[in-house]
């Protein structure tokens, strides 16, 4: 009987848009592993996998080499590795899969900032074309409270640095992540951070306390009061009013979103604002599908 050719170190995560990509684990866990809202890798110690093990995983897919067009490097932040470690892996991927169109990975602004322009260009030339960056918030006080280890400045600098060498970015903001106390600044500064980077893709999801609210509060620095649905929608409205994007594919269609928005910012900004306003008027009366994009 046919079995999957490799065994992953669970748990394994990838962005929804990488559902048809081959996932190769380069590192295990996340080298930061402190963000208050994130439980993805709390069960794992951060480990750099041996090159021979990564190569073995890549080779295991040789029988399907022609069909593999996209590869996603896992786990949390493979860009923490030096180019000396990353480049042989990218070269091996390129040599193994003749129809490869793109390599992508999660990345933190700090890890991007640690690389020189030349290093980033070398990675992009080797096919690393898309970085998924969890910005979460543009507000420094909120970033501090959620222990993100980033600032507005580090985020803008890092993402623009990657984009300057030709990489694309897909970024995410978390509605409600700062709670009631931070909501105004979180909305405004999150819009401003997007305005400053003009990413190719952006999305929002709503804070979900996977291990319960008390656990989230215990990892949050300061007072946290969860937003109710109306407050989430108000935060979204404030964010959308301030966003000035020229050509960003925008999605708020993660399962956590009560209000689904899909389109391109800026051309769909007025439609999004109208949808948010409609939801504010009747927040509990409709299902998320009723508000669903187009």
Residues that bind ligand SF4 (CB under 6 A): 30, 32-35, 38, 40-41, 76, 108, 134
For residue 91, the minimal CB distance to ligand SF4 (Å) is 26
Cβ proximity to ligand SF4, 126 vs 145, nearer residue: 145
**Residue 48 CB contacts under 8 Å (≥ 6 apart), including other chains:** 26, 27, 81, 85
- Number of residues in the chain: 294
For residue 114, the minimal CB distance to ligand SF4 (Å) is 14
For residue 37, the minimal CB distance to ligand SF4 (Å) is 7
The alpha carbon dihedral of 138, 200, 82, 34 has a sign of positive
Cβ proximity to ligand SF4, 79 vs 120, nearer residue: 79
Cβ proximity to ligand SF4, 55 vs 201, nearer residue: 201
For residue 105, the minimal CB distance to ligand SF4 (Å) is 12
Largest alpha-carbon pair distance within the chain?
A: 58
For residue 41, the minimal CB distance to ligand SF4 (Å) is 6
Q: Is 219:147 a contact under the CB 8 Å cutoff?
A: yes
Cβ proximity to ligand SF4, 25 vs 108, nearer residue: 108
Q: How far apart are the first and last CA of the chain?
A: 43
Bridge partners, 91 (sequence order)? none
Cβ proximity to ligand SF4, 76 vs 158, nearer residue: 76
Residue in this structure with the two tokens 């992009």, named with its chain if needed: 124
């Amino acid at each position: 009987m046919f079995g999957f050719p490799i065994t992953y170190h669970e748990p394994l995560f990838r962005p929804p848009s990488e559902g048809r990509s081959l996932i190769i684990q380069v590192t295990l866990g996340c080298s930061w592993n402190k963000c208050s809202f994130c439980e993805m890798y709390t069960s794992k110690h951060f480990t750099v996998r041996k090159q021979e093990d990564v190569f073995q995983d890549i080779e295991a897919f040789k029988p399907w080499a022609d069909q593999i067009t996209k590869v996603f490097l896992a786990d949390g932040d493979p860009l923490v590795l030096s180019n000396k470690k990353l480049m042989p892996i990218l070269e091996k991927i390129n040599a193994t899969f003749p129809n490869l169109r793109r390599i992508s990975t999660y990345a933190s602004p700090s890890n991007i900032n640690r690389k020189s322009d030349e290093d980033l260009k070398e990675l992009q030339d080797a096919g690393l074309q898309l970085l998924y960056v969890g910005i979460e918030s543009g507000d420094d006080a909120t970033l501090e409270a959620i222990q993100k280890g980033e600032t507005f400045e580090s985020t803008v600098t890092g993402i623009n640095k990657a984009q300057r060498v030709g990489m694309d970015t897909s970024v995410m903001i978390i509605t409600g992540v700062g709670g009631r106390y931070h909501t105004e600044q979180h909305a405004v500064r999150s819009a401003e951070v997007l305005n400053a980077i003009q990413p190719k893709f952006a999305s929002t999801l709503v804070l979900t306390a996977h291990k319960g609210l008390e656990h989230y509060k215990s990892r949050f620095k300061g007072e946290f009061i969860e937003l109710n649905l109306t407050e989430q929608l108000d935060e979204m409205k404030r964010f959308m009013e301030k966003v000035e994007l020229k050509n960003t594919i925008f999605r708020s269609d993660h399962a956590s979103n009560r209000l689904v928005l899909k389109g391109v910012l800026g051309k769909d900004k007025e439609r999004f604002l109208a949808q948010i306003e409609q939801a504010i008027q009747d927040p509990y009366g409709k299902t998320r599908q009723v508000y669903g994009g187009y």
